[in-house]
Structure 1
Amino acid sequence: MASVAQQVVFHPTVSQTLKLWSTTVGRDKTYRAVQYFARLLAWLLLSRGQKIEAARWNAIKNHLALGRKLMRLGKPWEHLQNAMRAAQRIDLPATETITTMGRQVAYFGYLTNDMFVWANNIKFYNLKPSTAARVNKHANRFWLAGILLSITFGLLKAGRLANEAKQLQSSVWSEKGAEVERETKLRANLAARAETRFQFIVDLLDVWIPATNLGLVTLNDGIVGMFGFVSSLMTLRQQWLAVNGKK
């Protein structure tokens, strides 16, 4: 019995999961996955008339959303630093630099407004209902702008990487060392394109969340919950691979 318990407690998957949850990103993405799954499940239960069960999952969704806001309190400055770093880069085309800076500034605006939303929700700083609604709307506008700029950046980068790959494949390399260099560059290009496609898909799923919050589209909580859940699982898996040295 002790041997079985030891095998369960020290199973590699358990150890890898604990390693994932030891990171802030790992915990946040796990909470986000549960949050949007709860949103989806609450909608399904409510559509079947199971109001009491739906209320339970709605409570989980709301509490996780509030907890995640607390975890992001210092994150606006991280995005501001990223914007300044992007401005100093000289190895990227101007269009990619501009969209990167714009995306980071937009996320700074989103998370800064989100801090006031959190402070109002926990009654630390009381806002008038009209002011709270306006701040929340500003947060969603910045969030939407950040995702749209991320999508634009992804399209620009994907086009540039595709052209670079085409040039590398069509070039004639006579020396053996140069051929090895080309293969190395092609592998790096392929990895960069895969990473860009991954983020592009995540952005296409997430863009509907702030768009729905702003009333620009009319998607129900089930669809929004499903999109958020899938994108959360994708980013959670990426973090799992990064933390456990499988990427």
Structure 2
Amino acid sequence: MDCAKYVVLAAANSRVVDVYVRYINMLVGRDKACRLGQYVARLLIYLVNRRVSQLGKTSSRLEWIMTLTRIQQTLSTTRKVMRSGKFLAFFQQAVRTLTSVGDDEVVRTLGAAHKLGMCVFMVADTIGLLGTTLALVRLRNPARVARLGQRAWMYALIAQLLSTLYQLRGLSIRSADLQRVRRHVGKAGDVMAERECAMEEQAIRTQRKGLTRQLTTSALDLAIPIKGLGILPLNEGLVGMAGSITSLMGVQDVLGKASG
């Protein structure tokens, strides 16, 4: 009994369980996990459909498609319920971004555009949930509402991409200026200035890493509304893979916060 008690206590107080509990207590963590399952299911549906087209239909393959479709639809609906009303948060963030003092004007404008685009996307998402999924309100044209949301999401991602590229360009200019300063500091033999330059270089490296990750996420996510709006003939496999990658990156980010 003592041994079993010790094992139970050790398991309950382990770091893995602690991080897991912190993760599931975060709404964004549950959303990212559901998103990962949703897009992995979407990718698998594409792969199984390709298998069917190559080798023919069988009962097991059709059952797989039906099961994965249910998983995708259920997780999609779950995420819509969890984020319903979130447009108010994006609206608040957009206003605060526009009225913030001291930030670069271009970054501030593009940041506000991103938040406003996400706000419109979330409004359309919530209306679609109430009208199409839950049938609580009557929509004259649900497809138009869905397209409005997809278009707003696309514009938000484009604004985020432009902002990230602009900030990366600014970091490149800062890095070039820092290299010129370091050459002068090296000639002068100023130890304190050399340390400050090293700290600045580390800060630039950290910011560039974060911005590069954001650029990758935005570029991959952009494939989803582009596919939804029919702007480019992207296949479901590419969209499912893009969504799976960005979802996994999101899960990693939340896990980092939970374990920190």
1:126 aligns with 2:138: yes
Query: In the alignment, what sits opposite 1:112?
Result: 123
Equivalent residue of 1:124, what SS? Answer: coil
**Percent identical:** 26
1:189 aligns with 2:199: no
Equivalent residue of 1:113, what SS? Answer: helix
Match of 2:238 among 211, 223, 226: 223
Please give the alpha-carbon distance, in whole angstroms, between the structure 2 residues aligned to 1:8 and 1:55. Answer: 37
Equivalent residue of 1:48, what SS? Answer: helix
Please give the alpha-carbon distance, in whole angstroms, between the structure 2 residues aligned to 1:212 and 1:168. Answer: 42
Max radius of gyration: which structure?
2
Query: In the alignment, what sits opposite 2:78?
Result: 67
Equivalent residue of 2:136, what SS? Answer: coil
Please give the alpha-carbon distance, in whole angstroms, between the structure 2 residues aligned to 1:140 and 1:118. Answer: 14
Equivalent residue of 1:74, what SS? Answer: coil
Alpha-carbon spacing, 1:74–1:180, altered in 2? closer, same or farther (3 Å): farther
Alpha-carbon spacing, 1:8–1:222, altered in 2? closer, same or farther (3 Å): farther
Gaps of 5+ in 1: none
Using structure 2 for the length normalisation, give the TM-score.
0.87
- The AA in structure 2 aligned to 1:179 is E
Q: CA deviation at 1:232?
A: 0.4
Q: CA deviation at 1:5?
A: 5.6
Q: CA deviation at 1:63?
A: 1.1
Q: Within 5 A, what are the aligned runs for 1:15-54? A: 15-49=18-52, 50-54=61-65
Please give the alpha-carbon distance, in whole angstroms, between the structure 2 residues aligned to 1:45 and 1:14. Answer: 35
Gaps of 5+ in 2: 53-60
Q: CA deviation at 1:119?
A: 0.6
- The AA in structure 1 aligned to 2:194 is E
Match of 1:208 among 223, 229, 244: 223
Query: In the alignment, what sits opposite 1:165?
Result: 175
Alpha-carbon spacing, 1:46–1:4, altered in 2? closer, same or farther (3 Å): farther
Query: In the alignment, what sits opposite 1:153?
Result: 163
RMSD between aligned residues? 1.8
Q: CA deviation at 1:7?
A: 5.1
Please give the alpha-carbon distance, in whole angstroms, between the structure 2 residues aligned to 1:7 and 1:205. Answer: 41
Q: CA deviation at 1:24?
A: 1.0
Match of 2:92 among 81, 93, 117: 81
- The AA in structure 2 aligned to 1:84 is V
Using structure 1 for the length normalisation, give the TM-score.
0.91
Match of 1:140 among 129, 133, 150: 150
